[in-house]
Structure 1
């Protein structure tokens, strides 16, 4: 039986590409600090201005040497979804919010894997209607 995924989702990416995107987003997630730095830089460079907000935590040594510091929070807004990832002392907390005109209608705390899957789905949905988001997806897929 032929795969009907592309026909059933004409305005979005095939499920296979979303799976590949999620796998690409998971790369290097074992080292959370490195992962957050790479992911935040990649998303900020690829998505429209204002879609990504990064909050950093800087130690005194990092301030003195002029380094950026480590990512404390990564916030990605795509459409009506706002995905937040917070890092604190090696622990990560994910949150997915449904937001309309700045008002949060629902909020759900999730683990890192579910957060990555949601980010992949949001990026795929954005890529269907936005050339810059499509470039971001293609960059992640290599």
Structure 2
């Protein structure tokens, strides 16, 4: 299965980070049910909200991306053992997307029963 989350592909056609994060959250949530946590925020007295955080949780690797309207996107990889965060590194978006893509590939290989589901959601 080829799963490409390169920033160039994801950002193509997306004019703002808010839309990028919302699209990424939707895609990951559909493809990896139970592994993705999404937080949304709303402005006071507004119906419009935005995705403020996406966390993709694998056994010992967590991938976190945050969006704040004034500060943009920050990406982070964390090493977690027994629910204790041992190490956390802030990384560039391209690196984060590449590492997440590789982790998803490995997960799909280990869990062949969900592979066709991942392919259907992520490659279409």
Q: TM-score, normalised by structure 2?
A: 0.82
1:74 — aligned with what? 54
CA apart distance, 1:61 = 4.3
Q: Look at both structures and tell me which one has the larger radius of gyration over its CA atoms.
A: 1
- The match for 1:99 is 80
| Conservation of the 8 A alpha-carbon contact between 1:24 and 1:140 | no
Residues 46 and 132 of structure 1 are in contact (CA less than 8 Å); yes or no, is this contact kept in structure 2?
Answer: no
Moved over 3 A (4+): 23-26
Q: Check 1:115–1:137 CA distance in 2 against 1; reply closer, same or farther (3 A cut).
A: farther
Following superposition, the deviation at residue 84 of structure 1 comes to 0.4
Distance in 2 separating the partners of 1:122 and 1:31: 26
Aligned length: 120
Deviations 1:43-97 (A, max 9, x none): 1122132x1111111013433xxx5x10111111022110000111251111100
RMSD of aligned residue pairs (Cα, Å): 2.3
Distance, in Å, in 2 between the alignment partners of 1:25 and 1:102 is 33
Q: Which structure 2 segments of 5+ residues have no match?
A: none
Distance (whole Å) between structure 1 residues aligned to residue 83 and residue 90 of structure 2: 19
| Alignment of 1:139 onto 2:124 | no
Q: What's the counterpart of residue 117 of structure 1?
A: 98
